[in-house]
Amino acid sequence: MIDVSLSHEKTNFLGFTERDWIQLLDERGYKKFHAGQIMKWIHHRFISDFSEMSDIGMNLRDHLSIIGNLKEPLVKEEFVSTDGTRKWLIESFSGKLFELVYIPEKSRGTLCVSSQVGCALKCDFCSTGKLGFSNNLTAAEIVGQIRVAMRRLAEIFPNNKRRGVSNIVFMGMGEPLLNLPNVLPALEVIRSDLGYGISKRRVTVSTSGIVPAIGVLADKADVSLAISLHAPNDRLRDRLMPLNRKYPISLLLDACRAYSEKFPQKKEIFVEYTLLEGVNDGYEHAKELASILKDLRCKINLIPFNPFAGSTFKQPSLRRVREFQSALVANGYSVTVRATRGNDIAAACGQLAGRLVDQTNRNPKYREIDLKNIQV
């Protein structure tokens, strides 16, 4: 529960869960059933002012206007790719810039949301990692991304119901499992029928492997889990992802198995593997990967590296990608290759932050983060 009473600033109610509303209404002597009504006004009808809630008494409307607001993060720029992918440059409440991407496909529309501005984890192949960490996004800023996208899409395609958001992936900027106090309430609003009503299979949280937080996520939310593995052994993963020195592959895979088994029918884990030419894309890597994943119910998603300015890695040829895929398929895995979308607007994975390097106001305190200090 966000403590409204102690806050000197107005509370942004976009990130409020049903439980938060019930508690607030109860504490202030209003009927709890207004929680559902208010949430529908906010998340279904997208009101920006409490005075618009015509079926709620004036007294409660005025009270909410005094203590809170429904401010959305601001869209600064919109980029549209020739393949229909849209990227929005968003300004957070603290004036920092981050990105939000919408990827339309035949049968679904996926929104790729950010959870932090920048990222502290410094993966070598990721442009967000090169930015360093700036700050966590609030629950209102995370939920606000969905509202912003849905409102904009309804504006662009007023009569086209299929051009909506059906899937949400936490694969934008930042490490969602290092911002659980904001990501968990946002997930609740995303999943709730009073919020965006997106089913558990259509919401995916991606992590680079914050092992203890995977357990917390399993306890507190029922969503799909993706892990960014990118290497089949610790020697290589240590090099590519410094976080591996704290949480090596064996611990990460144990946490994934526990996550999978926590749910009935054993949830399938999505294993993301970015292919870097000559680094992790050999036949021997594919064989090693097949061997370490054998006890995990999983699907593998291969992501050919998306180059960005200043990076030394290269994207493997399509032939090499297909060979890698075939080697895994021969071992019984279900393997997809992620199509690169929005290339012309740099909207692909890991490119989100590309243009932001000079604009993001980094927090110097976190520039050189020590992995020992990472706490969940």
Binding site for ligand SAH (CB under 6 A): 119, 123, 125-126, 171, 175, 206-208, 228, 272, 274, 303, 305-306, 308, 349-350
- What tokens does 119 get? 């990222």
- What tokens does 212 get? 């203890």
Name which of ligand SF4, ligand SAH, none residue 244 binds, using a CB cut-off of 5 to 8 Å depending on partner kind.
Answer: none
Closest distance to ligand SAH from the beta carbon of 275 (Å): 8
Closest distance to ligand SF4 from the beta carbon of 349 (Å): 8
Closest distance to ligand SAH from the beta carbon of 34 (Å): 36
Name which of ligand SF4, ligand SAH, none residue 272 binds, using a CB cut-off of 5 to 8 Å depending on partner kind.
Answer: ligand SAH
User: Does residue 288 have an active-site annotation?
Assistant: no
Name the residue nearer to ligand SAH (CB basis): 104 or 129: 129
Closest distance to ligand SF4 from the beta carbon of 228 (Å): 6
In the chain, which residue ranges form alpha helices assigned H by DSSP?
18-27, 34-43, 58-67, 127-131, 139-156, 180-191, 211-220, 234-240, 249-262, 283-292, 318-330
Q: Which of 275, 286, 164, 261 is nearest to 228 (CA)?
A: 275
Closest distance to ligand SAH from the beta carbon of 339 (Å): 12
Does residue 327 contact residue 284 with C-beta atoms inside 8 Å? Answer: no
With vertex at residue 172, the alpha carbon angle to CA 14 and CA 128, rounded to the nearest 5 degrees, is 125
Name the residue nearer to ligand SAH (CB basis): 104 or 316: 316
Residues that bind ligand SF4 (CB under 6 A): 119, 121-123, 126, 128-129, 174-175, 208, 228
Closest distance to ligand SF4 from the beta carbon of 207 (Å): 8
Rounded distance between C-alpha atoms, residue 361 and residue 118, angstroms? 10
3-state DSSP assignment of residue 274 = strand
From 99, 175, 188, 272, active-site residue: 99
Name the residue nearer to ligand SF4 (CB basis): 122 or 285: 122
Name the residue nearer to ligand SAH (CB basis): 139 or 178: 178
3-state DSSP assignment of residue 104 = strand
Name the residue nearer to ligand SF4 (CB basis): 53 or 241: 241
Name which of ligand SAH, ligand SF4, none residue 274 binds, using a CB cut-off of 5 to 8 Å depending on partner kind.
Answer: ligand SAH
Report which residue's Cβ sits closest to ligand SF4: 129
- What tokens does 70 get? 């429904």
User: Does residue 123 have an active-site annotation?
Assistant: no
Rounded distance between C-alpha atoms, residue 94 and residue 357, angstroms? 17
Rounded distance between C-alpha atoms, residue 208 and residue 267, angstroms? 18
Q: Hey, which residues does 97 pair with through a beta bridge?
A: 91
- What tokens does 43 get? 């998340």
Rounded distance between C-alpha atoms, residue 54 and residue 346, angstroms? 43
From 123, 126, 256, 349, active-site residue: 349
Name the residue nearer to ligand SAH (CB basis): 128 or 260: 128
Q: Which residues are catalytic?
A: 99, 349
